[in-house]
Amino acid sequence: MKIEGCVALVTGANRGLGQAIVSALVEAGAARVYAAARDERRVSADGSRVLPLTLDVTKPEQIAIAVRKAGDVTLLINNAGALNSFNVLTASPAEIDADFGVQVHGTLNVIRAFLPVLERVPLGGTIVNVLSLTSLASFPALGGYSASKAAAYSITQSLRPELKKKQIDILAVLPGPIDTDMVKDLPMPKTSPAETARGLLAGIARGDEEIFPDPLAQQMSVLWNKSHKEYERAFASF
Ligand SMILES: NC(=O)c1ccc[n+]([C@@H]2O[C@H](COP(=O)([O-])OP(=O)(O)OC[C@H]3O[C@@H](n4cnc5c(N)ncnc54)[C@H](OP(=O)(O)O)[C@@H]3O)[C@@H](O)[C@H]2O)c1
């Protein structure tokens, strides 16, 4: 799809990757960007084309209000994410529920609510789900989170044929580690949010169904294509 002139909505837009996606969209010529956040006062609206919007993706009443306020969206980017559950043997049910609440139920509820809006887009709307390399195989140190990202990937695949009939594309973004608050305590090579955001937009522009937006993700995608088992073992060895 063409980014220039689009009307985008980005969830979790107040920091990290979401904030970088908003800046990259403005730079690429988006007509308007709804920067959605749990606390819209924390959104840096660095231009008249950025409109802060209150949206906790786990709150159906806020989703309904967001749909009314942002009824002209052509590109929906589900970026909001949470990391509460680590080792699957020791994570509490509440921690696992918290990750599934945002990654799975939150994303799905936002998509369901915005479908009527995206169906009205003359040349077809686009949905982008920010997932993770852990959607393809578990990173055991983040086992509960990995399971939620794998479930979100499965839902993305489930929706694809349904949405195709409505001329809506749904794309999965599978980044490697990004230098944000989420993984600040994990010592590993990371890509900057700005570089990841640029790779993400390039993938949207190409219409890639699976977008590997950073160099590490691209490297891992080669391994994934070669052998799913080797990919799983590479993650397990960290
Ligand atoms: N960092 C990585 O290494 C990495 C790698 C692969 C994929 N990802 C994915 O990239 C996306 C962005 O993550 P990040 O690295 O930028 O993490 P981050 O810095 O922790 O930011 C997470 C964002 O999600 C928002 N959020 C959390 N729960 C929410 C909810 N219930 N409703 C609305 N927004 C909510 C946060 O809002 P608050 O400020 O209100 O908490 C924040 O804006 C996530 O989907 C993450 O899983 C990250």
Nearest alpha-carbon partner for 117 in 13, 36, 7: 7
How far away, in angstroms, is 36 Cα from ligand 1 center? 12
For residue 238, pLDDT beyond 90: no
For residue 96, pLDDT beyond 90: yes
Of all atoms in ligand 1, which is nearest to the CA of residue 16? 16
Q: Please, which residues bridge with residue 36 across strands?
A: 53
Residues 17-23, mean pLDDT to the nearest whole number: 97
For residue 197, pLDDT beyond 90: yes
Cβ 11 under 6 angstroms from ligand 1: yes
pLDDT band at 73 (very low <50, low <70, confident <90, very high): very high
Percentage of residues of the chain with pLDDT beyond 70? 100
Nearest alpha-carbon partner for 211 in 175, 176, 235: 175
Residues 166-191, mean pLDDT to the nearest whole number: 97
Of all atoms in ligand 1, which is nearest to the CA of residue 58? 31
- Residues 5 and 30: their CA atoms lie apart, in Å, by 5
| Residues 44-60 pLDDT 10s | 887 789 999 999 999 99
Cβ 59 under 6 angstroms from ligand 1: no
Pick the catalytic residue from 34, 145, 153, 231.
145
- Residues 117 and 74: their CA atoms lie apart, in Å, by 8
Task: Write down the pLDDT at residue 45.
Answer: 80
Residues 204-213, mean pLDDT to the nearest whole number: 98
Task: Write down the pLDDT at residue 48.
Answer: 85
Q: What is the pTM of this model?
A: 0.98
Please give the backbone phi and psi of residue 99, each rounded to the nearest 5 degrees, phi first. Answer: -70, -40
How far away, in angstroms, is 18 Cα from ligand 1 center? 7
Residue 66 backbone class (left: φ over 0; alpha: ψ -120 to 50; beta: rest): alpha
Q: Which two tokens stand for residue 18?
A: 């979401």
Q: Cα–Cα distances in Å, from 62 out to 37, 77, 110?
A: 11, 17, 10
How far away, in angstroms, is 15 Cα from ligand 1 center? 8
Q: Which two tokens stand for residue 69?
A: 């306020």
Q: In which order are the strands placed within the sheet that holds 169-173?
A: 50-54, 32-37, 7-10, 75-78, 126-130, 169-173, 210-211
| Residues 118-156 pLDDT 10s | 999 999 999 999 999 999 999 999 999 999 999 999 999
Cβ 182 under 6 angstroms from ligand 1: yes
